[in-house]
Structure formats: structure tokens, C-alpha cells
Amino acid sequence: MGRKYFGTDGIRGRVGEYPINAEFMLKLGWAMGRVLGNGAATRVVIGKDTRISGYMFESALEAGLSAAGVDIRLLGPMPTPGIAYLTRTLHACAGIVISASHNPHHDNGIKFFSADGMKLPDEVEAAIETELDKPMVTVSSERLGKAERVEDARGRYIEFCKSTIPSRLSLAGMKIVVDCANGATYHIAPSVLDELGADVVAIGATPDGLNINDGCGSTQPQALREEVLRQRADLGIALDGDGDRLIMVDHEGEIVDGDELLYIIAASRREGGQLFGPVVGTLMSNLGLEHAFRDQGIDFMRARVGDRYVMELLREHGGVLGGESSGHIICLDRTSTGDGMVSALQVLATLIQCGKSLHELKQGMTKYPQHMINVPLARRIDIDDNTMIQDAVREAETRLNGRGRVLLRPSGTEPLIRVMVEGEDGELVLSQARLLAGVVEQAVELASRQA
């Protein structure tokens, strides 16, 4: 069923533009309270990243939930995975995340967690949308929800992060630079690493409400790379604005992306007999990752792009580990959702246990050159049913000769077709990507003229 508000990862948009305004958030809180409260007092936790608009939306959601008779526990600035964890441990019926993840400050959004710290089921999101179309009615005064601040939320989550690696493990002797993206981990990540004994250099840890993800974090790791080299650190950790993505930098300043990190964690789990089910990547996961897993006898599956789809395949096939090239890594044997800090600790534990550097460990996987071109769509076309495009795809696959792959897919959020080619030969990959993108452009133009 089509959704009016919810996308694959909650509701997101530019602040002040409907539905990302205070009026809608008030109604959204009320609608959620109606669906989850079902006429009885219950508890919902609310956390946010460091965007200035978070204050406004936190207050609006709080008011709406109270009007529906639901109690609220306010967590303040907290990483998305921290909110999932506290939803479970505080025995709340749901968690609300106010964040637009790696987007700039002028965007914001809402994500929900169920009582078990997972994404809300589709049927619950549909029920909330149904309530949004109804007139808002406030419960009687004696049934209004109460709000309390959870004063020890930060400490609870820090202890949880540390608990995901062996208690005897120490980071003493390691110098680590951590980039918090001026986001929700600014007061979490440095403390976790410090308490485990590391010599910590924190950057991107002075949020002002407007500088979240601005020239820093996992989507822009250049500042981290420069600081790692300047400090002569052992490695660097880059998180995004809401703390669910991870990119690392080794001591030579080389960026280690989500595919390489997923490989390191999976290989370590397999070595320790702790890898169950297949490892799940996405359609965009590097072919080198697939080949590295094949060489190690590790089952690998590809999901559609998006952590929701990675999670679906993991649960369907009994897997415990999955992730995306962007650094969204899910360790279901440690937590219930993608968690940048927990994932970083799994990598650090592996480094210490095997006595190797991050630079050495990533050598087990050879990344293939990958090139992607976005082709704008003036008019949507069916790429699977377009003879011109499919002939070009077959021609490109013939030229790659089994040493690469081609992927064409429509963007889920923008009027674009993403043309991706990867393979062993970087020059061939680039030329085939450009040729394919040109054919797609011609097909789009032709379709527009025939419309």
C-alpha cells in the first residue's frame, strides 16, 4: 500500500516545509499515541540529534503524545542506536528518533522503533497514517501523559557500548581520532573510547545546532584523514550525525569503507565460530566483498539498498551480520539496529585480538573499481522493459567478460536512474559506465519526445 508520509526510513524533509513542521509533529505524536496507547497509559521515549530544530519537534511530539494519554521519557541528544537500546531497556512501547541522519542541519525527520528496538512494522505505520487523517481529540485531564527526563541516558548507553566487546579488552596504547560529525555521539563516542583506555582525540564534537555533518563525519572523512596523519594516530573513526554509520581511516590515511569493515568483522566472527547464517550486503556492495567471502566459504546475499531490506534478509535467513558500503553495519548478535560505535568496537576488538593494524586487516579484501553515474529523469521509464537499454547492458557485460558487473536502478528518493559498473579493470569500468549512461540519456530523451 502506498504511504502518504512514511518512506523506507521514517518521515524526512526540509524544516518548515510540510510535513516537517511543528503543527504536523504535534498531530504525529497524538496519532502515534492513539495507535500504541490504545486507550491505556503507556510509555514512549524520545531522543534527538543536535539540530536546532530538534527542540521544536521534541516539544511538539511531547505535547501530542500527552494529549493522547501517553507518558514520555525524554533522552535528550542521543544516537539513533542508543534510542533503540533505551527503548528496550526502559520497557517503552516505542521509541522516537528526531534526526535526518547524515543530512545538513536544515533537514530533519522522524524515525520510530518498536518495543524490541526494531523498525516499526508496516501495519503500525499504516495505522498511524490513518489516525493522522482524523480530528485531534485530547483525553481528559486525569488521563494526560506525563513527561520526565532520563538523567542517566548517556551513561546507560556508554555502558552498553562497552559491554559489546570482551570485558578484559583494553585500548591502552592506542591513539584514536574520532569524528562525531557535530552530531548525537559528541558526548558518547569520546567517553566510550576513553573509558576503554585509548588516547582519544575528538573532532566534530562541538555542536552548535547548525554544524551537524558540515565538513565532517562519515560522509566527509577528509578532516578525519588529515587529523589521523597529523596526530600520527593508529586509526580514525568517523560517525554520522545520528551515529548509526561508521567509516574508518587507517594509520596511513586510507579510508576504510563499510564493505571493508563488514569483511573484517565477518572474518573475525567466522574465525571465532560466531558467524551464523549468511552475511547480507546490498546491490551496491563491492564485488570484491562478494569474492572475498566466497574465498573464505562465507555465504553472502544481496538485499535492496537500505538497512530495512538488509535487516529483512538477516531475519529471514537467520543471519547476524549485514551492512552497506556507506557504513551502516548491523551486528544482530550485539544489538538490534545499525550502530556506528558498536561496529567500531567490533573492529577494534579484532585488531587487538589478532595483533594487526587496520591497514593490514583490510588487505584480506580487494576492492574492485566502481563507477556510478546518475542520469536525471525528465520522465520515468521502465529500464527493464527498454530494448535499447537492455541491449547496452548485455554489451557491457560481454565486454566485462565475467570480471565485473553492471547495475541499473531507479533512485528511491530522486528522479534519477543510477548507472553503476564495477570490475577488475578500472579504465574499462569507467568507459562502460559512461557508454551506458549515454544510452540511458538517449532512451529518456526518446521517451520524453514520444510522450
Burial of 403 (0-12, 13-18, 19+ CB in 10 A): middle
Is residue 291 within 8 Å of residue 320, measured between CB atoms?
Answer: no
DSSP 368: P
Q: What is the Cα–Cα distance from 329 to 344, expressed in whole angstroms? A: 10
Q: How far apart are the first and last CA of the chain?
A: 27
With the CA atoms of 134, 138, 143 and 144 taken in that order, what torsion angle do they form, in degrees rounded to the nearest 10?
Answer: 110
Give yes or no for a contact between 247 and 256, defined as CB atoms under 8 angstroms apart: yes
Residue 268 bears catalytic tag: no
Ranges of H-type helices in 73-163: 80-89, 122-132, 153-163
| Residue 191 DSSP label | H
C-alpha 314/C-alpha 172 separation (Å) is 34
Q: Of 5, 16, 161, which is closest to residue 78 (Cα–Cα)?
A: 161
- 53, 66, 101, 218: the catalytic one is 101
Beta strands 246-250; 255-256: pairing state = antiparallel
Catalytic residues: 101
